[in-house]
A and B are shown apart, each in its own frame.
Chain A
Amino acid sequence: MDVFDVDDLVITGDTTAEDIEEWDSLHHIRLVVAIERAFKIRFSNTEIESLKNVGDLTKMIDHKVSR
């Protein structure tokens, strides 16, 4: 992902913020903003807080895009 500026990033559904060194709170906001822009969707704060890992995130994107 461009947001993390890391070239060899391997991401799976189980990946969490703890697994990626660069994934701090600032990058978290950047990531959310980039996803919202790319998929033209919006997350509420409650939704963002409910996410536990990348799998949850992709599921939520799928859900919102198909709606």
Chain B
Amino acid sequence: MLVDLEWLPAPAEDFRARLAALQAEVTGGPGPGFAERLTALATAALDDTQLTRLAGLAPRLIESGRRVDGLSSLKLGLIGDGTMSLCVAPIIGSALRHGLCLEVVEGEYGSGVQEATDAGSRMRTAGLDHALIAGDARMLGLDQAAFTPGDAEAKVAAAFARLRLVVDSLRPSVRSTILVQTVPPPLESLFGSFDRVHPGSSFAMVEALNRRIADWAGEGAVVLVDIARLATAVGLETWHEPSRWHASKLPFAPALIPLYADWVARTLATALGKAKKCLVLDLDNTLWGGVIGDDGLTGIKLGQGSAAGEAFVAVQQMALELRSRGVILAVCSKNEDDAARLPFRDHPDMVLREDHIAVFQANWTDKAANLRAIAETLNIGVDALVLLDDNPAERMQVRDALPFVGVPELPDDPSLYPRALAAAGYFEAVTFSNEDRERADYYQANAQRAQALSASGDLGDYLASLDMVCSIGLVDPVTRPRVAQLINKSNQFNLTTRRYSESEVEAIERDGSRHAIQIRLVDRFGDNGIISVIIADKGRETWAIDTWLMSCRVLGRRVQEAALAHLAAAAKAEGARRLAGRYAPSPKNRMVASHYEALGFTLVEARPDGETLWWLDLATYVAPNLPMTIRDTAAPMDSVLA
């Protein structure tokens, strides 16, 4: 699977002709769809010769100085312990597959440390965006065993220090991240199984070095490219070819160059935020065996008891695990909607349930159109999608229509689907945070709101269907950090754009002449958190609104009307007769220029600089009926009693 890049389709039969056409286009000026045609040509299991030919496009593109949409240009420094020359062009060719147009600055063989530490070297003065450090156990001195724990520790420390020296010296000359490879362990053992026990075996020292590199990457200092994992995945016996090392210092078998190059390119693309975001799943013979429309709930193969049934459970488990780390799941199937949903609702062995799926497209329209609809609903690009589909014809149609969608080739045996999907590396990450974990939920809730709106058609029905609960409370120590964050971050829906630090917010809370509230909105799709802050100066006659801001996430939900109703009641209860609002224009808050007008305020002053003042007479104000439940803990006592 790995060695032959089997997740990629076979190269186009007219590869050379299509490449020649693209080359001619670069000279004459790329036409529409150039990036799509280039991606389509590059997204194939190309051998190193084809990759090298493809790579010839990159310098022409860079020289032409033309910007191509969907293609990022960058300069990569390559410092390797062995002969990396054979890898340079294949890396450039593979990078085109991942939306990157690379220029590679290759270090001279064996002089990585000198080039990194010499501020005048080609490497240091090239203006690199990224660098890749490819260490080798033989050059790092870890191929010969040490026979005391102290010596072993010293050798590992020296190897790590050498990598650090290269990285730290390069750092000022590299604009963005530096990638560091882990080191493949040796195949030949000295003690046999005891190699893992004795810290001085070459194997144990390489493992210890890799541990240090991983910790280093964990600190965020470098991005790790796990070549050790790749080497063990293809098998160390295949990876290491000593005759090539002896003849030309090739660090690994040249047959693996296309695979290696893709790993480097995909890690680089991931570091640049180009990893995929959403896994779109076909249903029949992808998530279960058989055709639900024909075979029915009891006829499909899924679950324990049969090898095929278990294989499909494993596919679903992999999808669910991806979702847990933030990958959005969607369904795209040629099926009747009812039939397609039936297993999700009623089959006892389904791992995936409807509430794991952000967008469910089961119809008879072509898949490319459905994938566009999924991307639109989720508000992400089609280039963020991956389609898992057992049907070769569907895969081909989608690849032709939408070359930016990741579509892995699948073997006939469903037990290998997870392997093919993982091998393609669509969902790589260079970091992982709490936010990532919640991302799938967040996108899913937004997609559901969008679908609810299009299903109901009527805005009033839509809002009523959201089951909104709007909680209004005074700003307090618990809500203070989020309130301060909103005050300092909100630009668009912000009437005066006044910024207050957390300690200033604390002072406002304690100030009896101020009324400071925060508003939270929950709906049936999820908790939006605190989304609005209002601060008013309580005058005897007039309450003047100092700050009114809201998160754009909840635009159009009538939250501002709920806020006004609260404010009016609170001011009235303390004997005030009017609210005064102010709009101070900023480069970003045009959207709220008529905020007070829309709420029924009267314009009292318009200054030449665009600032406007507005009044609302509390005697005539009537609070509207709103499509939400209000929980107001900051309301005046008498209105609570009423």
B248 touches A30 (CB 8 A): no
State which of B47, B52, B250 has its C-beta within 8 Å of the C-beta of A29: B250
B243 touches A30 (CB 8 A): no
Nearest A residue to B85, CB-CB:
A26
Instruction: Given A5-B56, A37-B255, verify A30-B49 contact (CB < 8 Å).
Output: yes
CB closest residue in chain B, given A32: B254
Q: Is B246 located at the chain interface by the 8 A CB criterion?
A: yes
- State the interface size on chain A (CB cutoff 8 A): 14
B248 nearest CB neighbor, chain A only: A29
A48 interface residue (CB < 8 Å to B): yes
Within 8 A of B (CB), among A9-67: 25-26, 29-30, 33-34, 36-37, 44-45, 48
Interface contact B254-A29, CB-CB below 8 Å: yes
Checking A29, A30, A34, A45 against B246 with a beta-carbon cut-off of 8 angstroms, the contacting residue is A45
Query: B498 interface residue, CB < 8 Å from A?
Result: no
B86 within 8 A of A: yes
Docked-complex contact A33 and B48, CB < 8 angstroms: yes
Chain A interface main SS type: helix
Q: Are A30 and B53 in contact (CB under 8 A)?
A: no
Is the Cβ of A2 less than 8 Å from the Cβ of B53? yes
Evaluate contact between B48 and A30: CB separation under 8 angstroms.
Answer: yes
Q: Which residues of A contact B243 (CB under 8 A)?
A: 44-45
Q: Choose among B50, B247, B254 the residue that contacts A48 (Cβ–Cβ < 8 A).
A: B247
Contact between chains at B86 and A2 (CB < 8 Å): no
- Considering only residues 60-114 of chain B, those with a C-beta below 8 Å from chain A are 85-86
Interchain CB contact (< 8 A) of B49 among A2, A29, A36, A48: A2
A29 neighbours in B (Cβ, 8 Å): 86, 244, 247-248, 250, 254
For A2, A33, A36, A44, which residue has the most chain B Cβ atoms within 10 angstroms? A33
**Nearest-neighbor residue (CB-CB) of A34 within chain B:** B49
Among B496-529, those with CB < 8 Å from A are none
Are B53's CB and A5's CB within 8 A?
yes
CB distance from A8 to the nearest CB of B (A): 15
Closest to A33 in B: B254
Interface hits, B18-74 → A, CB 8 Å = 47-50, 52-53, 56
A5: chain B residues at CB < 8 Å are 52-53, 56
How many Å from the CB of A27 to the closest CB on chain B? 10
Give CA–CA (A13, B404) in the complex, Å.
46
Closest to B242 in A: A45
- Name the distance in Å between B117's Cβ and chain A's nearest Cβ: 27
Q: How far is the CA of A36 from the CA of B47 in the complex (A)?
A: 13
Closest chain B CB from A31 CB (angstroms): 10
In the complex, chain B residues whose CB is within 8 Å of the CB of A33:
48, 254-255
In B177-230, the 8 Å CB interface with A consists of none
How far, in angstroms, from A34 to B47 measured CA to CA in the complex?
9
**Complex-state Cα separation, A37 to B50, whole angstroms:** 13
Q: Closest residue to A2 on the B side, CB-wise?
A: B49
CA distance A45 to B50 in the complex (A): 25
| A62 to B85 alpha-carbon distance, docked (Å) | 30
Residues in chain B near residue A30, CB distance under 8 A: 48-49, 52, 86
Question: B250's closest neighbor in chain A, by CB?
Answer: A29
Determine the chain B residues whose CB is within 8 A of the CB of A26 once the complex forms.
85-86
**Whole-angstrom distance from the CB of B77 to the nearest CB of chain A?**
19
In the bound assembly, the distance between CA atoms of A37 and B4 in angstroms comes to 12
**Distance A44 CA – B246 CA, assembled complex (angstroms):** 11
CA distance A26 to B247 in the complex (A): 12
Q: Are A37 and B86 neighbours in the complex by a CB distance under 8 Å?
A: no
B53 engages A45 (CB within 8 Å): no
The complex places the Cα of A45 from the Cα of B47 at a distance, in Å, of: 23
For A1, the closest partner residue in chain B by CB is B49
| Chain A residue contacts of B56, Cβ below 8 A | 5
- What residue in chain B is nearest A29 (Cβ atoms)? B248
Q: Given the complex, which residues of A lie within 8 Å of B244, measured CB to CB?
A: 29
In the assembly, what is the distance between CA of A36 and CA of B244, in Å?
13
Contact, CB under 8 Å: B47 / A37: yes
Residues on B with C-beta less than 8 A from A37 are 47, 255
Given contacts A5-B53, A5-B56, A30-B86, is CB(A45)–CB(B254) below 8 Å?
no
- Beyond A26-B85, A29-B86, A30-B86, is A45–B247 a contact (Cβ under 8 Å)? yes
* 29 A–B contacts from the bound complex (CB under 8 Å): A2-B49, A2-B50, A2-B53, A5-B52, A5-B53, A5-B56, A25-B248, A26-B85, A26-B86, A29-B86, A29-B247, A29-B248, A29-B250, A29-B254, A30-B49, A30-B52, A30-B86, A33-B48, A33-B254, A33-B255, A34-B48, A34-B49, A36-B255, A37-B47, A37-B255, A45-B243, A45-B246, A45-B247, A48-B247
8 smallest CB-CB distances across A and B, nearest first, come from: A33-B254, A45-B247, A2-B49, A45-B243, A26-B85, A29-B248, A34-B49, A3-B49
6 more CB-based (< 8 A) A-B contacts, given A26-B85, A30-B48, A36-B255 = A2-B50, A30-B49, A33-B48, A44-B243, A45-B246, A48-B247
